[in-house]
Structure 1
Amino acid sequence: MPIPLIAIARCGRTQDYVESVRLAGGEPLVVDRTTHDAETVVRQAAGILLTGGDDVRPALYGAAAHPAFEAEETGRDEYEIELVARALEADLPILAICRGIQVLNVARGGTLVQDLPTERPSGTRHQFPTTEHPADKLAHTIEVAPDSLLSTILGSRLTDARITDVNSRHHQAVDVLAPGLRVTAVAPDAVVEAVEDPARRFCVGVQWHPESFHRTGEFLPLFEAFVRASQLR
């Protein structure tokens, strides 16, 4: 099988995603709005990987900005939303991580919780700065829907066929779910931790950071499944 070219949206910790894709058997191509237009990316790449970063601009889903809003670089939101739209049109596999799951949901018509600590306070902490908490330190459990693609991918990592531990570095989350997406994992406080589109061969979003485990491989099966799906283009 050919090695699929995986377009990775540039972010502050791009190298972790690059290493994860390489380990899974893909060829990484880091892209942003200044280096590759979305149309060219979708024409050349076999899969799209949306990465972490700061907040999606609330105006893009019809909301006013919360005081805790942390703006991304100018143009990144619009660029990645266009990537999603074009990838869906071309039926390219999409893996969306942390900010990426939020971009995926907004691009398809959903909305976001802008600040979990103030809008959805609970006993589950979701935001752990790397200055006090290593990026690959497990933070809380998630419950995975047993009939989901994610459940099949994570397989033996799940206890009782549905529970696993994840790391966590986010203060926003999926709120109103976009049409066509299905929630496939939740945190103990019911915050959405994963979504997928069952009508597509691979369209998966996760709220945690599986790329942070590339040295130890705990979540390598997720990247391997994504790369395998991308080989089918």
Structure 2
Amino acid sequence: MTGRPLIGVSTYLETARWGVWELEAALLPAGYPRLVQAAGGVAAMLPPDDPAYAAGVVARLDGLVIAGGPDVDPGRYGAARDPRCGPEARARDSWELALIGAALAAGTPLLGICRGMQLLNVALGGTLVQHIDGHVEAVGVFGRHGVKPVPGSLYAGLVGGEVSVPTYHHQAVDRLGEGLVASAFAGDGTVEAVELAGPRWALGVQWHPEMGADVSVMRGLIEAAS
């Protein structure tokens, strides 16, 4: 380990094909562990599990990443389902909400990416916009757009000024959760980063740092986890 922080990253459970096999697999796009490694950490996959184990798992980690993925169940924030909302991922919602709660309670540094940012907001009582147009250029293709940080925020301290980021999402933060502040915006006003006010290190970004070359956000998590 050579002293590198251990960073847990939540994962999918999906049917996958490799070699002669087609089986259910714990999946994580390789960009996530590569980003953790490039920033100086060791990545540990955290597939959906019994939420009762979340606190014990988080206690063994130095930092936590909630990865991107499917839409959050609107019932989690008391909303009726929009027809454009994606299929439910109940096991993942339950597991990741438990991980987030455990990390916040323990003060473990936490980074939410895309769905992970949205779930952090929901965990703290916030709501989501279930569909916005214009943020997915083509199915299965990451786009890019500018993100402008709020001066003085944790996010601004990590990235400096406005940056062009890889992005793929059709949902967004609506009402902010308790204790969260918006720390970056897209040109159309969409919230692109949120962070927890106060001393605890908790940051969510709507875009996908694992799909680019900039390690600044992950490096911030690694430094907080060290």
Mark yes or no: TM-score above 0.5: yes
Change (3 A) 1:35 1:111: closer
Percent of residue pairs identical? 38
| Cross-structure match for 1:175 | 174
Supply the distance in 2 between the matched residues of 1:57 and 1:42 (Cα, whole angstroms): 23
1:71-90 correspondence to structure 2 within 5 Å: 71-90=87-106
Q: Is the 8 A contact 1:126 1:169 kept in 2?
A: yes
**Within 2, Cα distance between the matches of 1:170 and 1:102?**
11
Alpha-carbon contact 2:148-2:184 (below 8 Å) kept: yes
| Alpha-carbon distance between aligned partners in 1 of 2:88 and 2:56, rounded to the nearest angstrom | 23
Specify the alignment match of 1:122 in structure 2.
none
Distance verdict in 2 for CA 1:59–1:35, change over 3 Å: closer
Corresponding position of 1:53: 69
User: Which residue identity lines up with residue 5 of structure 2 in the other structure?
Assistant: P
1:17: which partner in 2? 32
Q: Deviations over 1:116-159 (max 9, x none)?
A: 12xxxxxxx2113464x4x3x5x22121111111111112xx2x
The structure 2 residue matched to 1:44, chosen from 45, 48, 60, is 60
- In structure 1, the residue matched to 2:135 is 126
Distance in 1 (CA, whole Å) between partners of 2:49 and 2:96 is 12
Q: Is the 8 A contact 2:183 2:195 kept in 1?
A: yes
Contact 2:72 2:89 in 1 (8 A): no
Matched, 1:140 2:145: yes
Equivalent-residue separation in structure 1 for 2:211 and 2:50 (angstroms): 25
Q: Does 1:154 align with 2:149?
A: no
Q: Secondary structure at the match of 1:151?
A: helix
Q: Compute the displacement of 1:178 (Å).
A: 0.5
Contact 1:53 1:72 in 2 (8 A): no
| Offset at residue 72 of structure 1 (A) | 4.2
Q: Which amino acid aligns with 1:190?
A: G
DSSP-derived class of the 1:14 partner: coil
What is the Cα deviation at residue 32 of structure 1?
A: 1.7
Give me the whole-angstrom Cα distance separating, in 2, the residues matched to 1:228 and 1:151: 16
**SS of residue paired to 1:167:** strand
Partner of 1:220: 215
**Are the equivalent residues in 2 in contact too, given 1:128–1:168 (CA < 8 A)?**
no
Say how many residue pairs are matched. Answer: 210
Q: CA RMSD in A?
A: 1.7
CA distance in 2 between counterparts of 1:197 and 1:223 reads 16
Structure 1 runs (4+) greater than 6 angstroms displaced: none
Does 23-32 or 194-203 show the bigger shift?
Answer: 194-203
2:44 corresponds to which residue?
A: 29
Aligned-partner residue type, residue 197 of structure 2: P
1:17-52, CA deviations, whole angstroms, 9 ceiling, x for partnerless residues?
A: 111001111110000224893122211111110111
How far apart, CA to CA, are the structure 1 residues paired with 2:100 and 2:200?
15
* Counterpart residue number, 2:3: 2
What does residue 96 of structure 1 align with?
112
Relative to the length of structure 2, the TM-score reads: 0.87
Whether the aligned pair in 2 keeps the contact of 1:195 and 1:205 (CA below 8 Å) is: yes
CA 13–146 in structure 1, closer or farther in 2 if over 3 Å, else same: same
TM-score, scaled to structure 1: 0.85
Matched letter for residue 16 of structure 1: G
Task: Tell me the equivalent position of 1:121.
Answer: none
Residue by residue over 1:186-233, the C-alpha shift from the partner in whole angstroms, topping out at 9 and shown as x without a partner, is: 1111111001113134111000001101xxx2x2111111111011xx
What's the counterpart of residue 166 of structure 1? 165
SS at match of 2:30: helix
CA apart distance, 1:164: 1.8
Unaligned 5+ segments in structure 1 are 118-124
